Amino acid sequence: MVVADDSLNIRPGMRYRVGEEDNNVKIIQQRLKNLGYFQGEVTGYYGEKTAKAVSDYEVTNRIDPDGNLSTPELYLLFSDEVLPAVQ
């Protein structure tokens, strides 16, 4: 069972992609790690490892995989309806 996580203040228009770096990326990486998608170190930098984890999350949750996170994808990622990685 997945528990919703309210640690990220999601706002309309939020979008994350490779090259971005801030505290929100750390929160995203930690959520991806908790769900079994991200295996790297939580650094706050949205690099290729984060993009791969996001693509895996997108595939599992039936979202067209592009490695970027849009606002609707963020809402799902932090909800209790998100599907965790298949172990």
Per residue in 40-57, pLDDT (tens digit) is: 999 999 999 999 999 999
State the Cα–Cα distance between residues 78 and 10, nearest whole angstrom. 9
State the Cα–Cα distance between residues 18 and 69, nearest whole angstrom. 10
Residue 86, pLDDT score: 87
For 40, the token pair is 């790297």
State the Cα–Cα distance between residues 14 and 25, nearest whole angstrom. 12
Per residue in 62-81, pLDDT (tens digit) is: 999 999 999 999 999 999 99
SS3 69: strand
- Average pLDDT (29-39) is 98
Domain ranges of the chain: 23-77
Q: pTM, whole model, 2 decimals?
A: 0.96
Contact 25, 16 (CB under 8 A): yes
